[in-house]
Amino acid sequence: MHRFNRRDFLKSAGAIAAFAAIPKAVSAAVTGARVVVVGGGFGGATVAKYLRMWGGNVQVTLVDPNPNHISCILSNLVVTGALSMSRITLGYDTLRTTHGVSFLQGKAVGIDPAGNRLTVQTSSGNRVLDYDHLVLSPGVDFSPAPGNWNPNLTPHAWQAGAQTTLLKNQLAAMRSNDTFVMTVPKAPYRCPPGPYERACVVADYLRVKGRTGAKVIVLDANSDIQAEPEAFNHAFTVTHAGRIQYVRNATVLSVDSATRSISTTAMNITNAKVLNYIPNQRAGGIAASLGVNPAGFVPVNALSYGTAAFPNIHVIGDSCAVPASDGKAVPKSGHMANAQAKVCADAILRTLSGEALDTNVATGSACYSPVTGRTASWLSANFIYGDIYDVNGAVKGKGMHRVDLGEAPSNGVNGDSYQDMFTWADSIFADSFK
Ligand SMILES: Cc1cc2nc3c(=O)[nH]c(=O)nc-3n(C[C@H](O)[C@H](O)[C@H](O)COP(=O)(O)OP(=O)(O)OC[C@H]3O[C@@H](n4cnc5c(N)ncnc54)[C@H](O)[C@@H]3O)c2cc1C
């Protein structure tokens, strides 16, 4: 039997082809149908593109407040100055010109599910869009911070753009013996390895710049490292020994941006040189308005990404909650958003054509984490649709099963993975936006 390995994963554009549902020819049946997509990030751009590619004459309107999407993927390397902002800036031109997606710059502010209408705030006033199907992929919003948090003083840089530049400038201003303090939000949050990756590349930057005695303190709200624990434990205690202090069970009690101080259940810090407070996360507001689970995300059907109350309103990407077999959340990643977008596009086209949903679906995700300026680790998570069980082993419904493809996580931290990271990222960028 052929084992699916990392090279196959890269060759298939980061598992994009391997995990995408392949729809039947449905174009004739869906002529004139209107789909509105909210959010032009990894989930939204992909679903808009594939609805047009697979859907013939289906009309697709993509709504986003920004003229470009700035990718969180690779953004930690913009913080350290290894990459430029233009490297992670992804435009909508190809979606418009090659794929025929209409782009409306604006913010979705209200859904009328009974009337199948979406209200969008634009620079020239509110516009109302009628839809047959609505797809929401607005990413994450932040939970309120305790205390006095001002992201313009102490950035999160967990949505890329101006926040990334601000954190980059603050890091560049650090001198010897200064302290960079960062928090890891309570899971589930966007990109499980992302905060640990940031700690590593910041520590590496301080080493390379000769900032003697400068260090990174990681205040983790969780009881342990949330992804690739072996790789990051090694990075914290060996590769970056003395430059990273990892603190578990550090629930944030109060943040004061003016003094760059933070109080947690494990440690209090005053006057950090840089305070990178990454708040707890929940579904983007427009998706959350449909109703959320206790963790703050919108439950969806894993075959269509439709909501229970409104099957023609779909939520994909970081905002959705997909039932999974092992009790762990399906990871919130750009790669996963891309995979969910294809399942969703296929489901919409089948529904418009009067066909049953495909039950043979799979999704997958990879995250590459740079650990130094030349090395990275690699993690994959893969899922297939099927029964899911409660703690007693009884079937409690349908959802996604985690499957082991034999190479997750990566076998350590190395230079090959660092190079592969760019191949993988460019594949995801192109598959979503080109
Ligand atoms: C530092 C970091 C590193 C990461 N590295 C990786 C990685 O290596 N691999 C990986 O797979 N993932 C990675 N991720 C995670 C990845 O960026 C997210 O999971 C992914 O962007 C989620 O896609 P999405 O479509 O749900 O949201 P997004 O890509 O964030 O897109 C949401 C879009 O919705 C728009 N929007 C929000 N509200 C509205 C509204 N009301 N109306 C209209 N538009 C709206 C926003 O402007 C935005 O463009 C990383 C994240 C971070 C922070």
Residue 273, amino acid: K
pLDDT in tens, 331-374: 999 999 999 999 999 999 999 999 999 999 999 998 899 999 99
Q: Which residues pair with residue 111 across a beta bridge?
A: 118
Both 149 and 215 in a single domain? yes
Based on the fold, state whether residues 296 and 405 are members of the same structural domain: yes
Note the Cα 16 to chain centre separation in Å. Answer: 16
Residue 238, Cα to own-chain centre: how many angstroms?
29
Any domain includes 288? yes
> Does some domain include residue 1?
no
pLDDT tens per residue across span 96-105? 999 999 999 9
Q: Which of 321, 333, 379, 280 is nearest to 73 (CA)?
A: 333
The HSE-up count of residue 89 (CA atoms within 13 Å, CB side) is 11
Ligand 1 centroid, distance to 304 Cα (angstroms): 20
Closest residue by CA, ligand 1 atom 38: 138
Kindly state the average pLDDT of the residues 412-432: 94
Among 3-17, 159-173, 176-190, 259-273, the least confident range: 3-17
Percent of the chain, pLDDT > 70? 91
Is residue 212 domain-resident?
Answer: yes
294 and 399 belong to one structural domain: yes
Mean pLDDT rounded to a whole number for the chain = 91
Residues 98 and 213 grouped into a single domain: no
User: Does the pLDDT value for residue 377 go beyond 80?
Assistant: yes
User: Cα–Cα distance between 339 and 17 in angstroms, integer?
Assistant: 9
> Are 109 and 194 contained in the same domain?
no
Domain contains 374: yes
Q: What would the DSSP string read from start to end of 251-276?
A: -EEEEETTTTEEEESS-EE-S-SEEE
Residue 126 lies in a domain: yes
Average pLDDT (411-420) is: 88
Domain end point (choices 276, 303, 334): 276
315 CB under 6 A from ligand 1? no
The pLDDT score that the predictor gives to residue 111 is 98
Q: How many domains does the chain have?
A: 2
**329 vs 395 pLDDT, higher one:** 395
Residues 84 and 159 in one domain: no
Q: How far away, in angstroms, is 334 Cα from ligand 1 center?
A: 6
Q: Where is average pLDDT lowest: 9-18, 103-112, 302-311?
A: 9-18
One domain for residues 322 and 395: yes
Domain-embedded: residue 428: yes
pLDDT on residue 391: 72
Q: Rounded CA gap, 124 and 40, in Å?
A: 20
Q: Is the CB of 65 under 6 A from ligand 1?
A: yes
Residues 204 and 153 in one domain: yes
Strands in 147-148's sheet, in edge-to-edge order, are: 147-148, 252-256, 261-264, 268-269
Q: Which residue is associated with the tokens 């427009």? A: 286
Q: Is 63 in the pocket of ligand 1 (CB under 6 A)?
A: yes
Mutate to test the pocket of ligand 1, among 19, 42, 369, 431 (most ligand atoms within 8 A of CB): 42
Q: What is the pTM of this model?
A: 0.94
Whether residues 116 and 151 share a domain: the answer is: no
Give the strand order in the sheet containing 376-389.
362-370, 376-389, 395-403
Residue 419 and residue 351 share a domain: yes
pLDDT at 390: 75
Contact 136, 314 (CB under 8 A): yes
Query: Which burial class, exposed, middle or buried, applies to 404 when counting CB atoms under 10 A from its CB (0-12, 13-18, 19+)?
Result: exposed
Of the three residues 276, 308, 334, the one that is the final residue of a domain is: 276
**Which residues are within 8 A (CB) of 253 and not within 5 positions of it... i.e. 6 or more apart?**
146, 147, 263, 264, 265
Residue with CA at minimum distance from ligand 1 atom 4? 73
Share of the chain above pLDDT 90, in %: 82
Residue 271 lies in a domain: yes
Domain boundary among 256, 276, 296: 276
CATH number of residue 37's parent domain: 3.50.50.60
Owner of token pair 């995250």: 367
Q: Are residues 45 and 161 in the same domain?
A: no
Residue 237 CA to ligand 1 center (angstroms) comes to 30
Q: Is any ligand 1 atom within 6 A of the Cβ of residue 211?
A: no
- Rounded Cα–Cα distance for residues 184 and 191 (Å): 11
> 159 CA distance to ligand 1 centroid (A)?
7
Coil, strand or helix at 87: helix
Query: Whose Cα sits closest to atom 20 in ligand 1?
Result: 334
Rounded Cα gap, residues 291 and 289, in angstroms: 6
The phi and psi torsions of 96 (rounded to 5 degrees) equal -75, -55
| 30 plus 93 within the same structural domain | yes
Q: What is the pLDDT of residue 66?
A: 98
Q: Is 37 helix (H, G, I), strand (E, B) or coil?
A: strand
Q: Which domain holds residue 257?
A: 144-276
The answer to the question of residue 33 being in a domain is yes
